[in-house]
Amino acid sequence: MIIKGKAHKFGDNISTDLIAPGRYFHLRNNLPELAKHTLEDANPGFIKKVKSGDFIVAGKNFGMGSSREHAPAIIKLCGVKAILAKSFARIFFRNAINIGLPVLECETEKIARGDELEIDLAKGIIKNRKKGLELIFHPLPKVMVNILRDGGLVEHIRKHGGFKL
Amino acid sequence: MGKTISEKIITSRLGREVTAGNIVIVPVDLCMVQDGTGPLAIKQLRKLKRGGALSGPGRAVDCGIFAPEKTIIFLDHAVPPPRKELSNVQRELRDFARETKVNLSEIGEGISHQRLVESFVNPGDIVIGADSHTCTSGALAAFATGMGSTDVAVVMATGKTWLRVPLTFLINVEGKFPQGVYAKDLILYIIGMLGADGATYRALEFAGEAVEKMSLSGRFTLCNMAVEAGAKAGLVASDGLTRAYLKERDREKRYKEIKADKDAKYERVFEIDASKLEPMLACPETPDNVKPISQIKAKNIRIDQVFIGTCTNGRIEDLRLVAEILKGRRCAPGTRLIIAPASRQVYLQAVKEGILEILVGAGATILSPGCGPCVGLQGGILADNEKCLSTANRNFKGRMGNPNSQIYLSSPATAAWTAVKGKISDPREIM
């Protein structure tokens, strides 16, 4: 499956507090409202700039901090189709896969804000045709590939009756 | 080949040999959600159950909980709730607990991680919680880790989860702590050394003379912040002090000795001499931006608010220390002091020991046990450009409810003495 979109750049250590600030705790049961504040402390106005099909491209340790699954959920709700980062915090990484949001570990330095990217999820390749750039992302463990392919953990469990390693 | 504590626990619960790197499906002994992560878990659980795909004989099929007695809902974040949206969420969680017969820890009972070690977790358990600081329970030699709502919903429904058996970093701490230096200073030092992602996917095992002599309260503080270095779990071997802790809570029978083999294979080993440490501070805006107080003191950083509490440092041992420092003193003019005991048990003990009288007398505002200020929810949200010194575990931008404020992290002793002085101060000045 190939997905295409534009890159929105972020730095290192983007915490879940930056993605889904605690001051909007009361909106957690109302994800569309919470999504209006996605990443607002890291990049004010992100929500106005992001378009369905775009990508988030970041440095290391994306999603550090709390276990709040609302963080990847509102990123997905904004229309973001994948997050590319040098590395991810463990809980965020699991959460994103569990809700069917691809999280790809790769060298992101060469990607600039606004770059148009093409991602081949099956082959593990990210391309930027204009710059002639081709990046390879680290493969996921098989269990995560299966969860992602089934569309998320709930769908995975419903389909197989349990985890398929 | 020798095993680490994580390998031992997972091997024992699975009944077959595992080593780091294996991906396994494990039975879960305890799972939990709190009022911030519970509603989404229940939503996912209902999706899982639609069509009855997972119903089975002898289980609470209608509600879909695999083992209600091993499932706990903690109302600890918005306590008592400051908004109707949060009140409604808590009502939903109460209704769910009643219908499904899962355990409910009501508002005022305390923070999940403190309640777990007080009343639920035993050595050798596998604990999965929809809260990142679930790793606190590792101090009881349990394999405890945080996950998201969907993962925990699957545990609630099936009693199992998948995980990769982690590689382990051994943190060996020898020597004696100097006066005024505590477990919190040690873990801040370790996080500064490893970095906020230095232990991602790894387990941290804390060992050595300084850890063996450390109270359980200190060990909880160490394991609590393992996640601040990215770790999956923080663990301490069980020993006589663990047994005594369980005995005081009528769980001595559940004691098991769990320790790493002498020839266990560690990915990395770090040696730390506790006697060389000094009070540490995590400066804004990440917990790994750690500096010794000797480098900070001269800057005369004025503090508007001191917050003492949380799953990191809201235990009775912490409050005793704070009371010792505050006795006969008052907070500096212009510096507010907010204190939240980590649980009702801690609160009651503080009442019995006369600690509350000292704290309130010194000018502290006491909050009900819970997470409020630490997560920017209520009970101490900072004004623009204010600075807070907190005993919590995180100082990310916006963490305490205002992205235009700054948070420093320290031990309770540094926090208490800072409240008296009105600026970041070294507790060794009065020891």
Gap between the Cα atoms of A153 and A147, Å rounded: 5
Q: Chains A, B: CB contacts under 8 A, how many?
A: 153
DSSP three-state, residue B142: coil
Predicted confidence band of residue B61 (pLDDT cuts 50, 70, 90) = very low
β-strands B233-235, B203-207: how paired?
A: parallel
Lowest mean pLDDT among A115-129, B124-138, B289-303, B402-416: A115-129
What span, in angstroms and rounded, lies between the C-alpha atoms of B62 and B55? 8
Smallest Cβ distance to B154: which of A68, A73, A153? A153
How far is Cα B192 from Cα B178, in angstroms, rounded to an integer?
19
Question: What are the pLDDT digits (tens) for B62-94?
Answer: 447 999 999 999 999 999 999 999 999 999 999
User: For B45, which residue in chain A has the nearest alpha carbon?
Assistant: A154
Interface contact B397-A17, CB threshold 8 A:
yes
Out of A128-132, B146-150, B316-320, B349-353, pick the least confident: A128-132
Determine the pLDDT at residue B50: 72
pLDDT at A10: 98
Min Cα separation B37/chain A (Å): 6
Three-state DSSP state, B170: strand
The predicted pLDDT at position B241 comes to 98
Q: Do the Cβ atoms of B158 and A154 come within 8 Å?
A: no
Cβ contact B142:B135 at 8 Å: no
Q: Indicate which of B18, B40, B285 best probes the interface with A, i.e. most A CBs within 10 Å of its own CB.
A: B40
Q: Do A18 and A45 meet the contact criterion of CB atoms below 8 Å apart? A: no
Nearest beta carbon to residue A143 from set B23, B37, B381: B23
Contact B48 A158 (CB under 8 A): yes
**Amino acid at the residue B329:** R
| Rounded distance between C-alpha atoms, residue A106 and residue A158, angstroms | 31
pLDDT of B315 reads 98
pLDDT computed for residue B54 by the predictor: 52
Residues of B in contact with A70 (CB under 8 A): 40
- Strands (DSSP E) along B274-397, which ranges? 280-282, 290-292, 305-309, 336-340, 364-366, 387-390
Whose structure tokens read 């294996």?
B22
- Locate B265 and state its tokens: 């294979």
**What pLDDT sits at residue A131?**
87
Query: Any bridge partners for residue B172, and if so which?
Result: B207, B271
How far is CA B229 from each of CA A13, B41, B270, B276, rounded to the nearest angstrom? 12, 26, 14, 22
Half-sphere exposure at residue B372, Cβ-oriented, CA atoms within 13 angstroms = 28
Peptide bond into B178 cis (omega under 30): no
pLDDT for B1 equals 84
Position B47 scores a pLDDT of 92
For residue B249, how many other CB atoms are within 10 A of its CB?
Answer: 14
Burial class (CB in 10 A: 0-12, 13-18, 19+), B226: buried
Q: State the complex-level ipTM.
A: 0.97
The tokens describing B82, both together, are 């400051």
Q: Is A146 on the interface with B (CB under 8 A)?
A: no
The pLDDT of residue B51: 59
List chain B residues with CB under 8 Å of A91: 132, 146-148
* d(C-alpha B228, C-alpha B199), whole Å: 9
Q: Specify the higher pLDDT residue, B60 or B121.
A: B121
Rounded Cα gap, residues B11 and B36, in angstroms: 32
Q: What is the mean pLDDT of residues B205-217?
A: 98
A127 burial level (CB within 10 Å; 0-12, 13-18, 19+): middle
Q: List the alpha helices (DSSP H) in B81-168.
A: 84-100, 112-119, 149-158
- Tell me the percentage of chain A whose pLDDT exceeds 70: 100
Q: Please give the average per-residue pLDDT across A99-108, as a whole number.
A: 96
d(CA B241, CA B245): 6
Return phi, psi of residue B365, to 5°.
Answer: -95, 125
Pair B277, B181: CB distance under 8 Å: yes
User: Which pLDDT belongs to residue B58?
Assistant: 37
Smallest CA–CA distance, residue A20 to chain B, in Å, is 10
Could you report the per-residue pLDDT of B16-48, keeping only the tens digit for each?
Answer: 999 999 999 999 999 999 999 999 999 999 999
Where do the DSSP E strands lie in A12-165? 55-58, 82-85, 103-105, 116-120, 125-128, 133-136
Cβ partners under 8 Å of residue A11, min gap 6: A58, A59
- Encode pLDDT of B359-379 as tens digits: 999 999 999 999 999 999 999
| All structural domains of chain B | 22-164 (3.30.499.10), 166-277 (3.30.499.10), 280-423 (3.30.499.10)
> What's the CATH code, domain A2-138?
3.20.19.10
Is residue B351 predicted with pLDDT exceeding 50? Answer: yes
First to last CA, chain A: 22
A98 CB neighbours in chain B (<8 A) are: 148, 150-151
CB A10 within 8 A of CB A59: yes
Residue of B134, B196, B403 lying closest to A13 (CB–CB) = B196
- Report the C-alpha gap between A43 and A27 in whole angstroms: 20
Q: Which residues pair with B169 in a beta bridge?
A: B204, B268
A11 with A59: CB under 8 angstroms? Answer: yes
Domain boundaries, chain A: 2-138
H-helix or E-strand spanning residue B127: strand B126-129
Q: How confident is the model at residue B239 (pLDDT cuts 50, 70, 90)?
A: very high
Sign of the C-alpha dihedral computed for residues B132, A17, B401 and B84 taken in this order = negative
Instruction: List, for residues A44-101, the tens digit of each pLDDT value.
Output: 999 999 999 999 999 999 999 999 999 999 999 999 999 999 999 999 999 999 999 9
Q: Which amino acid is at A1?
A: M
Task: Return the residue matching tokens 């609160």.
Answer: B347
| DSSP characters over B7-48 | HHHHHHHHTS---TT-EEEEE-SEEEEETTTHHHHHHHHHHH
